[in-house]
Structures are given as C-alpha cells and as structure tokens.
Amino acid sequence: MIYENIDDFINDNNDHLVSFTVSTNNNLNLIQNLFESAKNNNIKLVLFALDKHICTFMNKLFDIDIVMFMADENPHKDKEFYNYEFGSSEWKQIVYYRYFIAHRLLKEGKNIVYMDTDVYINRNYMVDIREQLRKNDLIIQTNGNSCCTGFFAIKSCRKLINFFSKRNMTELKYEDYGGTGGSSDQKFFNHFIGNNMEKYNCAMLDRKFYPNGNYFYDNYDMINDYCYIVHFNCVQGEFKKIKRVIKYNKLLIDLIDYLPKDELEDPEVLRYRSLLNEIKSNKNNKSNKNNV
C-alpha cells in the first residue's frame, strides 16, 4: 500500500517494531534484492520513498507498505533517474532522513529497525532484536572500531526521542559532519553517541551475527549459515556491491539495466552495463538450451 505521508502510515500501522529503509531511485537492483530477501525471511520491511519513481517501481514488484517522505521538497522527485553523488550536499541531507523518520516513529511509541539498501537479510532477526532491545535502548552494527549506521535498532525512550529530533540535531550542527567523501551521518553518530555508549544505553551488535562487508568477506565460510544480515558495504557504488552479492551467492533477482544514458562515458557505468549484458546473455543462452 502507498501512503502519501508518514502520518497516514502511522495511523494505519499497529506494529510495535517497524523495520524500514529509505531510498531514492538509485540502486534499484540492490533495493530489489533487499526486499526479496526480506520476503524470503518473513520480515515486514517498509520503504520510505524519496521520489515517485522508486515508489511506482517498487509498488509493481512487491506487496509492501511504501511511504512517500518529503517527496514534494525533493527537486528531483519527478526525474526518471538522478544520481545523488556520494559526498554531495544533497547526498549528505538524504542520509540523515533515516534519523528524522526514526524520530517520528519513536515519538509514536514504536521501536524501529533501520537498514541501508545494500543490506541482505539472511535470517529472520525479529526475536533476536526484540530480546536485545529489552536490555539496550539502541543496538547498532559495528565495523570493529566504531558504530556503523547501516543497520541499527532503537527502543522508543525519551532520551533518544529528544536526541534525534531535528531541532536537537540542528543545534548539534549535524550538517557539518563529513560530506566530502566520508560517511557524514556515521561521523555524527559516533561523535555524539558512539563516544557516549553508556549515556545512551547503546550496545554494538555481535559481528558474527550482524557483519559489515569486510568482516563477512573475511569470515564467509564460518558465519554464512547463521548470520542474520549481510551488509555489503566497504565498497562504493552499486556495480561493486552487486559483484560482491553475486560472488557470495546472495543474488535473488534478475538484474535490470536502468543506468542513465547521459553517463555512458563514466567507466563505472560502462563496466556495470557490461556486467548486466553478460548476465542477461547467459540467462538467454540457458533458456534457449532448455527449449531445444
């Protein structure tokens, strides 16, 4: 179901724990794979759509709740494809939407699980997350040294509701963190919460069960069968992430070519298109052999 705004969604939703992701019309293959993995593991995952294209696209593929979030303020909402360049001011603003959405849900008494679109759900995590939120107000993935904001869960409590309000985050000058090649929201999070874990009753998730990219890549044989999620980060760009998804046998969908024609000279786009064409060709060849 498509909700025109977050208020309509909240009024119609009775779930105490809401899992969600946020996306523009970038990374269409990754987000398809995420939702397919959610469906396979009986996870009710909500999409907060930042433009009409991703809303229409995902609504045709999945029977899910889609919430239009701040779409009217997005100057690119009606474009077929717009590339939000990593580190740009637009990109930096988008990565903070996860917190503003979380804040609104927390205010309504809902606990939340947030995940990036490059996450793959390997097993149903609901029981484990609920149990961990009994002891902690916030649990988050780690890269081994600090918090990784690609997957986290938050309990509805006053201290965190106040922290993630836009007013408080503005006073803390959230827009000054990163944005020139670094993960801006992650720097902000680690500065204020990661460095004050006890104050916010925050705990890091066990990497064996909630691995980030490098930990999963290095320990695949040991943890693949029982980890709850895989976060395909530590590489930049959908092309490189999809290659990792394929390498570790986590691809559940037929890849589509939706890449912008005005960026055809970009080497990364050319390599990605070549991969998509190769996969499509191999699939057609297998189909033809089966029909002989």
Task: Report the C-alpha gap between 236 and 243 in whole angstroms.
Answer: 11
Which DSSP symbol is given to 206? P
Task: Report the C-alpha gap between 259 and 272 in whole angstroms.
Answer: 9
What is the DSSP track for 14-72? Answer: --SEEEEEEE-SS-HHHHHHHHHHHHHTT--EEEEESSHHHHHHHHHH----EEE-SGG
> Do residue 239 and residue 264 come from a single domain?
no
> Do residue 109 and residue 251 come from a single domain?
yes
| Tally of structural domains, the chain | 2
> Do residue 96 and residue 48 come from a single domain?
yes
| β-strand partners of 153 | 113, 139
CATH number at residue 219: 3.90.550.10
Residue 72 clears pLDDT 70, i.e. is over it: no
CA-derived radius of gyration, the chain: 19
> Do residue 118 and residue 215 come from a single domain?
yes
- Averaged over 192-211, what is the pLDDT? 95
**What pLDDT score was predicted for residue 220?**
95
> Do residue 144 and residue 265 come from a single domain?
no
Please give the residue range of the domain that contains residue 287. 259-292
Q: 19-46 pLDDT, tens per residue?
A: 999 998 878 999 999 999 999 999 999 9
> Do residue 18 and residue 114 come from a single domain?
yes
**What pLDDT score was predicted for residue 181?**
46
> Do residue 38 and residue 171 come from a single domain?
yes
Q: 221-271 pLDDT, tens per residue?
A: 999 999 999 999 988 888 889 999 999 999 999 898 887 665 556 787 788
